[in-house]
Structures are given as C-alpha cells and as structure tokens.
Structure 1
Amino acid sequence: MPDWLDIAVRVILFIIILFLLTKLSGKKQLSELSFFEYVSGITIGSIAAEVIINTDNRVWHGIIGICVFALFIYLVEIASLHSKKFRDYVEGSGTVIIKDGKVLEDNMKKEKYTTDELLQLLRGKDIFDLSEVEYAVLEAKGSLSVLPKKDFRPITRKDLGLPSVNEKEPYTVIMDGEILDEALTTTGKNRAWLQAELDTQNITIENVFLGQIDTYGTLSIDLFDDKIQVPTPQERPPLMLAHLKKCQADLELFALATKSESAKNMYAKNAKKLDESMQKLLPFLKD
C-alpha cells in the first residue's frame, strides 16, 4: 500500500475511534475541561498523531494505547463520582476570591491571579466596579462565579410584589415553511388556529422561515423576505405592569443614590407621578 493511502486510511480510522471514544465519555468532555481532562485530551491526540504520521508504527498499537488511556480516564471519572476528596484532588475545587466585599489577596496569590485578571473576569460578568461584589469564587475550570451585593442585583417579580410566572421554552411550530404538527399539538393549538393567526397578518405559511409560540400562546414569526415588516406581538398587561413598577423602583433607587438635591427631588417627583399613573391604570393592567 502506498504511503499516502496508508496515512489516509489511518486518519479516517482514528477519526472514527476518537469520535466513538468522545461519545462514550459523555458531553462533559465537550464543556470546559478540568486540568486532568485537558492533559488527557492532549495525550490522546499526541498518540493518534504519532501513529498516523509515522507509518513505521503499527496501527493496532496506537489503537490499544488510546483505548487503554480512555479506559483509565473513564475509571478516574467513575471514582470522582463516588469520592469528593478524590474529585477535588483530580479536578480541583473552587477558591474564594472575594468574601464580604473584600478581596482575599492570599487566595489570589495561591491561584496565581493578578488584579488585572480579576477585573477582567468581573467585566465578563458585566461588573465594572469592585464595590458591587459581595462574594466571588474562582471555579476549578477557571470561570468566576459572582454574587453581587443586594442593591446591585436585578429586580425580580418577587421584589415588585407580582405573582410568579412559570415561563416555558418557546415551541417551534413552523420551520422553513413547513408546519411541525407535533410541536403545534404540544402547545394546545391546531392548524386552523395557526392559519387564522397568519391570515390576520396576510402571511402565507410558505413565506415563514421560523415560527414560534411562547408561554402566553403568542405567535412570533420570521420571514424569508427580510424586507417585509412583521407586526411585533403586543406586550401583555401583566408584563407591562411589571415594567412600570421596575421603572418606579429604579427612579426611587436613583433618588437614594444621588448626592444632588435637585436630581433627588426630580427622581422622587417622577417616581410619585409614575405611581399615581399606575394606580389609575391598575384595573386595566391586572391579569
């Protein structure tokens, strides 16, 4: 067999083997790698590359080496599932970097992280002011988990005193101009309802690139022709009320945060006006 054909056969063979081994190892190998997984991946890749390029090596020797190494990794993962101490030793554990709003310099030195790197990780979490952080942990895989201080956390429906809404993932009912009946049935709708919704917008199913139904039963569509304007689904009253209350809460927070008396009065005045408007609209904005 010519060398070029031998190498081509080896490449195809090892691609199949590596694919199968990766599938057997689970989706964890496709996420962020731990130190052990990173080293293991490099080693397996090196074994495969050596056998592929060096035609003097026997293919079966490389296959046996990769399979034995993959088996060892599998056994390590099984042991990690049953022993936290072993898992912490192999995969590492999280290190507290910020606690009670204070940076723990000793822990940063232990992980060999500089202040610039810490600030960079915080910016990745949309935090540009260190004083906004209550607690931060540097995870074993290198990511930073951050708990902002209470005053800097997003406002929730619970904070506004609104009932919780269990939203579900939107269902795709039209794709590439074809109706997906199974997804449509799951939403409790039928083809007649879907056709009626499209008729109100003078749109044919063949022109729809993607159509989805959300938790509230609203149909949103995207057309093949981007020049055609599709009406935006109207916002439901409960969501409108939530947004208004959030605006009022933001104005009150601004009034408390600012040191300018004129700005404080302006924010407080507008928050009061918004509250009065909501009281008038409340009967129309409730569920």
Structure 2
Amino acid sequence: MEQFITIILRTIFFYVLILIIFRLMGKREIGELSILDLVVFIMIGELAIVAIDNPKQSVTLTSVAMILLMIIQILMAKISLKSKRFRDLIDGKPTIIINRGKIDEDAMRKQRYNFDDLLTQLREKDIRSIADVEFAILESSGSLSVIEKMNNPNGEPKEGDITIPLIIDGAVEEENLQRINKTNFWLRQELKKLGYRDIRQISFCSYENGKFFVDILDEE
C-alpha cells in the first residue's frame, strides 16, 4: 500500500514538474519541434518514467537532471536565435522538392525522401496531382509546404514565386543567390539603391517577384 501511494505521489509530482519545464522551454507545436527539442523531451520523459517505476530512485537527483536538461535546451535556443549557422546545424535547412512545377530528384535523394513520401504528404494537403504544384518545400521539421499553381482570369496557368530569403541575421544567403542566378555584388548594389548600405544591420531581406522586402535589425 505504501509503495502504491509513493507511485501516485511521484506521478503527480513529475507531471507538474514536466508541465512547468515545458512551459518554461517555450511554446512549440509538435510538428515544429527541432531535433534538439525531441531529444530533450524524450530524455525528460525517460527520467520521469524511471523515477516513478523505481521508488528507490532519488526524486531530488531526477529533478536536478530534468532541470539541467531544461537549462541546456534554453541555452541552445538562445544560441540558435543569434547564430544562423548553429540553427542550420541543429535544425537543418528547408529543401525545395518541386521548383516551378519541376521535381528535383537530386534534392529528394539528399534528403532520403521518396515519391511515396511526396505523394502521401500531397494527399494530406488535398492535392490530387503533382501537376497542380508550383512549389513544394520540405521543411526542417519534416512537414511539406505546398504552393499550388495560379491561374490567369482566362484559366491559363500563371507562374508564381516564393519568398527567397537573401539575408538572415545580417548574413548573406549565398546558396539562395545562386538559386535566382544573382551575385553578392548585385544584391549589395540593389540594396544601396534602396538606401541600405550596411548588410549587417539587416535582420531579414527577401526577394519575390522582382521586389525586395527588407527588415532592419531591432527597428521599431
């Protein structure tokens, strides 16, 4: 009976503790969890299970380990906010699987992503045919973002475009520049025409349908 009560009390305690830890770690949807988030969540869950299942396991030591994991996750999240390179290392980069209606098989191979995966995720988004897709982007979370082809008023297909980030956190995205067949020099010259001379002061700059969107770092 005493062991039964102990298990109940430990279950309630760790339930509350995990709720507090996850709340402090920030709000993230399940589909948006990074590899780091998943590792931390799994480890915290395993620690709680072991402590509940084994009454001899120290509640204090288990709680300390769980709190330490929370601190590690928060510190990593702060580093990731400041470092694009670190974000790419931990979370990976989005991959364009379908670009302007054409499937990029090489990108699929690099992501170990097959046609069954593609068709399944398209069906989940109520897309009946690949021919209806202008862009399909495999996000770092594993979800697929789809942009369907647009039509002119006469019903004929019309080319669309997606937002191409060219600068993130003051750093130029050289890979995206190559994707649109532009150079670093071109980007700097175009931004100078718009009055932006210091790229390090730009938190985000994108290029879509021939137009720039620029957001200055910490601008109110």
Q: Percent identity, aligned pairs only? A: 36
* Separation in structure 1 between the aligned mates of residue 125 and residue 19 of structure 2, nearest angstrom: 34
- Cα distance per residue 1:150-196 (max 9 Å; x no partner): 22xxxxxxx8xxxxxxxxxxxxxxxxxxxxxxxxxxxxxxxxxxxxx
CA distance in 2, matches of 1:116, 1:31: 20
- In structure 1, the partner of 2:28 is 28
Stretches of structure 1 lacking an aligned partner (at least 5 in a row):
152-158, 160-248, 258-287
Question: What code does the residue aligned with 1:100 have?
Answer: R
Deviation at 1:116, TM superposition (A): 1.4
Higher share in strand: 2
Cα distance per residue 1:94-133 (max 9 Å; x no partner): 0110112111111111211110110111122222111121
CA contact (8 A) 1:22 1:29 kept: no
Per-residue CA distance 1:34-80 (angstroms, 9 max, x = gap)? 22211211111001111111111111010001000111011011111
- After the TM superposition, which residues 159-170 of structure 1 pair with which residues of structure 2 at under 5 Å, given as runs? none
Paired with 1:87 and 1:114, the residues of 2 have a C-alpha distance of 25
1:47 corresponds to 2:44: no
Q: Deviations over 1:179-221 (max 9, x none)?
A: xxxxxxxxxxxxxxxxxxxxxxxxxxxxxxxxxxxxxxxxxxx
Give the aligned partner of residue 106 of structure 1.
106
Decide which structure has the larger Cα Rg and report it.
Answer: 1
Counterpart contact for 2:98–2:134, Cα < 8 Å? yes
Point out which structure has higher relative CO (alpha carbons under 8 A, 6+ apart): 2
In the alignment, the residues of structure 2 paired with residue 88 and residue 16 of structure 1 have an alpha-carbon distance, to the nearest angstrom, of: 33
Q: How far apart are the structure 2 equivalents of 1:129 and 1:115? A: 13
- TM-score with structure 2 setting the length: 0.66
Assess, with a 3 A threshold, how the Cα gap between structure 1 residues 19 and 81 changes in structure 2: closer, same or farther.
same
Q: TM-score normalized by structure 1?
A: 0.51
Cα distance in 2 for partners of 1:30, 1:24 equals 16
For residue 105 of structure 1, what is the amino acid of its counterpart?
A: E
Q: Secondary structure at the match of 1:27?
A: coil
On the 8 A contact 2:31/2:143 being kept in 1, the answer is: no
| 1:143 maps to amino acid | S
Higher helix share: 1
Q: What is the alpha-carbon distance in structure 1 between the residues aligned to residue 14 and residue 138 of structure 2?
A: 36
1:28 counterpart SS class: coil
Contact 2:31 2:141 in 1 (8 A): no
Match of 2:145 in 1: 145
Aligned residues of 1:51 and 1:62 also touching (Cα < 8 A): yes
1:15 is the counterpart of 2:20: no
Q: Matches of 2:150 and 2:29 in 1, distance apart?
A: 35
Corresponding residue for residue 130 of structure 1: 130
Q: How does 1:88-107 map to 2 (within 5 A)?
A: 88-107=88-107
What is the SS of the residue equivalent to 1:137?
A: strand
Tell me the alpha carbon deviations over residues 206-263 of structure 1, each in whole angstroms, 9 at most, x when there is no partner.
xxxxxxxxxxxxxxxxxxxxxxxxxxxxxxxxxxxxxxxxxxx5xx53xx79xxxxxx
